[in-house]
Amino acid sequence: MKTIAALLALSSAAFAQQLPTFKEQVVDADAGVCYATTIADINGDGKPDIVVVTELPDQVVWYENPTWKKHIILEKEPNLPVCIQALDVDGDGKVELILGADWPINPKTKISGTVWLLKRPDDLDKPWTPIKIDEEPTMHRMRVIDVDGKGRKELVCSPLHGRGTKDQNGPGASLYILKRPADPFKDKWTREVIADDIHINHNIWPLDWDGDGKEEIISAGYEGIFVLKRGADGKWSRSTKIGDGDPVKHGAGEVKVGKLPGGKRYVVTVEPWHGHSAVASSRKRRAIPGAARSWSKTTRAATRSGPPTSRAATSTPRSSASAAFPRGRKRSASSISSTPATPRESSGSRWCSTTRASAARTSSAPTWTATAWSTSSAPDAAPRT
């Protein structure tokens, strides 16, 4: 047992040495309620700038790298902005911005929710021109995807709820590509539906999942975490299931994908929606050719006085612990910051643990193992998600 413990310690130490270190740099100490951010080279100088959507006041702003001079893109109208995505829509080498706004309060899932193309001015110190290109209740997240593998990025729109839905009851959300026309500033944008049966579709992430040169979408919603792929016939389907998410409240709310040292892929989720657990999943090899595969999840125990009692370096990247914020932690409105090395370095309340049972699967889908850290406090309710 001592030998095994020593090997685990050496493995964890070697893994830690390969992780980068970060230093916090405050960009704006009074940005309002910073609701969404993205990175884009706004002024074309080759440096990544920071674009921020704020509430109280309702603004879209960008901070110029490296001085972090603040430029106001829009303010007051459109109101209640919620998400932002950079995309060069006309192919001139300069990015435009696409904004999701008019977030429904309470929420109103039959009305409200708009998508705006923000046309850049010649003078970047002047306001940008908003052009409404679509409407969909509870518009919530936006990404870009190269679905054909030809280098042309398309906009993916992800509402939180279906029309008339309350939480998980009712129609699913309409996840779709909003395809730009020949003249994106004047002509009508059209939709290509990816899925319409996911409830509380809180976040998505595009990537080339299977290495075929074409990008897929990972969705984190009430039904679980899935890879959505477009087939040769142009139809979309759930090609891979990563997991069910939280076993009690169901599903996941955030999802990102990374690679461990050596190239092994991992998927990090926050579970459930507005949840308190950060879960890192990695694919296992089939032990016996032809044998049934299983999916397992384990929540690792952790306290402020020490790290998790057991963890595998290949399935618990230390940086993923930053995805779970203990209740009551005060965060800067807009900053570039480091991620905690282990859960004990996160400020906040005590960490607790649960164990999730394995569920056998007989399909050909790959096996994933997951490790999660969870806080002992319940997530705070929020009108906007």
Which one is predicted more confidently, 34 or 145?
A: 145
Give the pLDDT score at 371. 55
Mean pLDDT for the stretch of residues 25-54: 94
Q: Is the peptide bond before 66 cis (omega within 30 degrees of 0)?
A: yes
Mean pLDDT for the stretch of residues 85-100: 97
Residues 6+ apart with CB under 8 A from 31: 52, 54, 61, 333, 334
SS3 331: coil
The two tokens of residue 342 are 């282990």
Residues 6+ apart with CB under 8 A from 243: 224, 225, 252, 269, 279, 281, 295, 297, 368, 370
Lowest-confidence region among 129-138, 291-300, 331-340: 331-340
Mean pLDDT for the stretch of residues 269-277: 90
Question: Letter for the amino acid at 280?
Answer: A
Separation of alpha carbons 204 and 155, rounded Å: 12
- Would the pLDDT of 316 be above 90? no
pTM across the whole model: 0.74
Lowest-confidence region among 98-102, 193-197, 228-232, 306-310: 306-310
pLDDT band at 380 (very low <50, low <70, confident <90, very high): very low
pLDDT band at 111 (very low <50, low <70, confident <90, very high): confident
Separation of alpha carbons 269 and 253, rounded Å: 7
Strand 367-375 relative to strand 293-299: parallel, antiparallel, unpaired? parallel
Separation of alpha carbons 221 and 175, rounded Å: 11
Closest residue by Cα to residue 209 from 197, 194, 221, 227 = 227
Buried-exposed string 161-174: b where 16+ CB fall within 10 A, e elsewhere: bbbebeebeeebbb
The DSSP result for 252-277, as a single string, is -SEEEEEE-TTS-EEEEEEETTTTSE
Four-residue CA torsion sign, 71, 53, 225, 316: positive
CB 73 within 8 A of CB 64: no
Residue with tokens 């047992």: 1
Closest residue by Cα to residue 18 from 314, 330, 281 = 314
Closest residue by Cα to residue 108 from 383, 382, 309 = 383
pLDDT band at 307 (very low <50, low <70, confident <90, very high): very low
Share of the chain above pLDDT 70, in %: 68
- Would the pLDDT of 287 be above 80? no
Mean pLDDT for the stretch of residues 41-57: 94
Strand 33-40 relative to strand 49-55: parallel, antiparallel, unpaired? antiparallel
Separation of alpha carbons 107 and 87, rounded Å: 29
Share of the chain above pLDDT 90, in %: 51
Question: Letter for the amino acid at 138?
Answer: T
The full length of the chain comes to: 385
Give the pLDDT score at 132. 97
Q: What is the mean pLDDT of the chain?
A: 76
- Would the pLDDT of 299 be above 70? no
Closest residue by Cα to residue 214 from 226, 192, 197, 232 = 232
Which one is predicted more confidently, 249 or 355?
A: 249
The two tokens of residue 36 are 């969404």
